[in-house]
Amino acid sequence: MKRFAGMAAAVAMLGGCAGTGGANLPVVAGVDLDRYAGRWHEVAAMPAWFQRKCASDTTADYAPTPDGRITVVNRCREADGSTREATGVARPTGTPGEGKLEVSFLSVFGIPIWPAAGDYWIIALDPDYRWSVVGHPSREYGWILSRTPTLPAATLRELRGRLAAAGYDTCKLVVTQDAAKPRLCDV
């Protein structure tokens, strides 16, 4: 299985982004990380260079660990059918239950390098944990995730509105669940 090329560098870059308005990016309060655990499918995303070889079937699997951290396994399918995978660890930041985490895909002897971690902020979450909107304070990265491989168009439009209200340019997000890859602003 191939590894995401340059994932550590990408996460280090994410961690160092100092975009404007980050302090005003809303996050969900009362996130239950045990309920959040499990498989999530990418439905829409802002194209990120560290995902450039991903053609379809992008997923993220989250599993809590006894020390309060979360194991992260990201996978996708390349155009040639091969699978790419990146494994990392996340930890909560901010106040308990707040939807702020940081993720590191870089470690030395199994110890995460937290200065190279990237922000993973849950900015919208279905009450039943069926979908999640994840962002970065710079608003240069964003994802719509779902427990199922697709979401109805009406739900995508609702989440587009939430992203726009949070200051995102929704035309920068691509609906990855659709083979045509339309921009979210056109859905």
Checking if the pLDDT of 4 tops 80, the result is no
Q: Which CATH class is domain 2-186?
A: mainly beta
Mean pLDDT, the chain, as a whole number?
Answer: 88
Which band of pLDDT confidence, cut at 50, 70 and 90, is reported for residue 23? low
Of 14-18, 90-94, 161-165, minimum mean pLDDT range? 14-18
| Structural domain spans, the chain | 2-186
Evaluate if residue 15 carries a pLDDT over 60. no
For residue range 63-111, list pLDDT tens digits in order. 999 999 999 999 999 999 999 999 999 999 989 999 999 999 988 988 8
**Local confidence band at 22 (pLDDT 50, 70, 90 cut-offs):** low
pLDDT at 83: 97
Q: What is the pLDDT of residues 31-74, one digit of tens each?
A: 999 999 999 999 999 988 888 999 999 999 999 999 999 999 99
- Sole residue written with tokens 């970065």: 136
- pTM to 2 decimals? 0.87
